[in-house]
Amino acid sequence: MKKKAIITGIAGQDGQILTKILLQKNYHVLGIAKNIEKIDYLKNYGVTLLKVDVSDTPQIASLIKTYKPNEIYNFAAQSSVAKSWQYNAKLAEVNGFSVERILETIKRIERRDYKVKFYQASTSEIFDLSTGGMKNEESEIKPLSPYGAAKAYAHMITDIYRNEFNSFAVSGILFNHESSYRDLNYVTRKITHGVASIKLNLTHNLILGDLDSRRDWGYAEEYVQAIWSMMQLNSPENFVIASGKSHSVGELVEYVFKLAHIGHYDKHIHIDKNLFRKKNFSASIGDFSKASLGLNWKPKKNIFQVLEMMYKQDLKALRETRS
């Protein structure tokens, strides 16, 4: 019998990648998102798509009870750290409280029906990334933004349901992970799309924030595969998924301009200080040692290989659009 999975936030990068993985593994997939128009193509592969706000508790609970999934993957979130200072109440509702209500629905179902596995998309933003150093599953939770605080609540409530109610509830603490599924508001996609546009003389400038900002970046396809592996364990555990290395935004910019054979790239960079974070971040990196042992997982592609893939795809798409 085919397994059934519900993916909330299916329209995002990780939701689309996971859908591809699950379809390859012969799952039935029900996808939930506020904006499903851009992923209408998934219907061609047998995916059921529903336009639902994850904070609509009665509707989400009804879907879970009716669909009876084996696995639920929760990617639904307000995802902008910068914008999280502007809509704190809605952010807390979607990124935090809705997670607890999904877990409570699962708990009530399990009392009289069957077991459901739950995955929560946690993030490195639950840590104090201003301190630098390695972060692992035991690192102090000390978020620096409303986004991080809401995600920290979701992370901790997932732990509580696992420890207090024996729920199969896990959090994947994923550091930055990129692919061509990224929206243009993410810095890696801004860079690859922007440089491709400059290469084709469609634009002249690339507007960015702090070029000295450093992150631990990896390949989204590999990270999402790790998510699925977490859900196949017999006992639920949290895992950090990361590359174990950090690079500055400036390094990424320089690399993509070199790929495009554009010299004097600094002429094309415009710095917008409104895009700077409220607090400077150090070179915090993720320690994936536990995932290496528990999931037999380690990163293969580095961020520069990922950027090359993204740049080539953006260049091809822009050429096709122009022709």
pLDDT of residue 267: 93
Q: Do domains 4-177+217-241 and 180-215+246-280+303-322 have the same CATH topology?
A: no
pLDDT of residue 100: 95
How many whole angstroms separate alpha carbon 200 and alpha carbon 196?
A: 6
Check if the beta carbon of residue 76 is closer than 8 Å to that of residue 97.
Answer: no
Tokens of 129: 């990334």
* 167-205 confidence digits (pLDDT tens): 999 999 999 999 999 999 899 999 999 999 999 999 999
As a whole number, mean pLDDT of residues 58-76 equals 94
pLDDT of residue 281: 59
For the chain, the domains span 4-177+217-241, 180-215+246-280+303-322
Identify the DSSP state of 209. Answer: S
pTM of the entire predicted model:
0.94
* 128-137 confidence digits (pLDDT tens): 988 878 999 9
Vertex 16 angle, CA 296 and 83, to 5°: 100
Query: Which amino acid is present at 81?
Result: V
Q: Does residue 85 register a pLDDT over 70?
A: no
pLDDT of residue 273: 83
Q: Does residue 88 register a pLDDT over 80?
A: no
**Which range scores top for mean pLDDT: 46-55, 96-105, 110-119, 153-162?**
153-162
Q: Look at residues 141, 117, 138 and name the one whose alpha carbon lies nearest to residue 128.
A: 141
Check if the beta carbon of residue 168 is closer than 8 Å to that of residue 162.
Answer: yes
Q: Which residue has the tokens 């000295």?
A: 212
CB atoms within 10 A of CB 154: 28
**Which range scores top for mean pLDDT: 43-52, 128-137, 272-281?**
43-52
Quick one: pLDDT band at residue 99, thresholds 50, 70, 90? Answer: very high
How many whole angstroms separate alpha carbon 137 and alpha carbon 225?
A: 19
Identify the DSSP state of 204. Answer: S
* 120 Cα distance to chain centroid: 11
Bigger pLDDT: 84 vs 301:
301
pLDDT of residue 84: 58
- 312: which residues sit within 8 A by CB, 6+ positions away? none
- 129: which residues sit within 8 A by CB, 6+ positions away? 135, 144, 281, 282, 284
- Portion of the chain with pLDDT greater than 70, in percent: 95
* 3-44 confidence digits (pLDDT tens): 999 999 999 999 999 999 999 999 999 999 988 898 999 999
β-strand 134-135 against 117-123: which pairing, if any? unpaired
Averaged confidence pLDDT in the chain: 92
Domain 180-215+246-280+303-322: give its CATH code: 3.90.25.10
Q: What is the DSSP string of 224-262?
A: HHHHHHHHTSSS---EEE--S--EEHHHHHHHHHHHTT-
Q: Does residue 278 register a pLDDT over 70?
A: no
How many whole angstroms separate alpha carbon 297 and alpha carbon 225?
A: 9
Q: Residue 171 pairs with which residues in a beta bridge?
A: 120
pLDDT of residue 91: 80
Quick one: pLDDT band at residue 282, thresholds 50, 70, 90? Answer: low
Q: What is the DSSP string of 269-286?
A: EEE-GGGS-SS-----EE
Domain 4-177+217-241: give its CATH code: 3.40.50.720
* 39 Cα distance to chain centroid: 17
Tokens of 24: 């390859």
pLDDT of residue 87: 65
Q: Residue 104 pairs with which residues in a beta bridge?
A: none
Q: Which residue has the tokens 């999931």?
A: 295
How many whole angstroms separate alpha carbon 138 and alpha carbon 286?
A: 12
As a whole number, mean pLDDT of residues 142-164 equals 95
CA dihedral 78, 79, 84, 87 (to 10 degrees): -20
Check if the beta carbon of residue 69 is closer than 8 Å to that of residue 30.
Answer: yes
Q: Which residues are catalytic?
A: 123, 125, 147
